[in-house]
Chain A
């Protein structure tokens, strides 16, 4: 089974609108971390936001927030007030306590912001 599933290969959003990028994960480990990375066309991998499995509140970083639904095993990224510079690939990743050195990545979602 896939550890991380991103079901949206491509998404479009109007500038200034909010968008949600989906991510579901699969683990039986009680300790795990969830991460989102952005990869613009220039190629670098940019860390956006982190959510730990024991965190009670959803993580937020500026315009990014993580909608963490533990029972559903989902960790969706919400980008508010989309900007043209948000156009990029977005990757969801997980790291488990028992296999701590292994990062599991999803297949990514390509987001295009339309002016």
Chain B
């Protein structure tokens, strides 16, 4: 059983389109995250939810909107896609304790043409 699953794995789309990435975790974790990994491999936190409540909201364009229908799901919707949005997006989850590790999904490679 996959602990953190995100779909799709690859997403190729045109500029200006709207797309969503879905994420689900079956670990019973309270906290879920979205990270963006750019071409230089730098991992940047975008959002974090704890029990469906937004707790981390980094400087991200308003075109990005996370949605957490329940604590096991955290989806990412992106409006009006731009070339600079091309990256790998990772969903992750963790228990709410500083000694607990982060579990990553397999990543979504987004290519905006």
Contacts and interface: CB of A to CB of B under 8 A. Distances in A.
Nearest to B106: A44
Interface in B88-113: 88, 90, 92, 94, 96-104, 106-107, 109
Contact of B98 (A33, A37, A89, A105): A33
Interface string A78-115: 00000000000101010111001111010110100000
A25 interface: no
Given A43-B88, A43-B106, A103 B99 contact: no
A39 B53 CA distance: 29
A47 interface: yes
A109 B31 CA distance: 27
Nearest to A52: B99
Size class of the contact patch on chain A: 20 to 34
A39 B99 contact: no
Chain A interface mostly helix, strand, loop or mixed? Answer: strand
Contacts, number: 62
Contacts of B100: 33, 95
Contact of A89 (B33, B41, B101, B104): B41
Contact of B90 (A45, A52, A97): A45
A95 B98 contact: yes
A93 B99 contact: no
The 7 closest A-B pairs by CB, nearest first: A45-B104, A105-B43, A97-B98, A100-B98, A33-B99, A95-B98, A108-B41
9 contacts: A32-B98, A33-B98, A33-B100, A35-B102, A50-B99, A52-B99, A102-B45, A105-B43, A110-B41
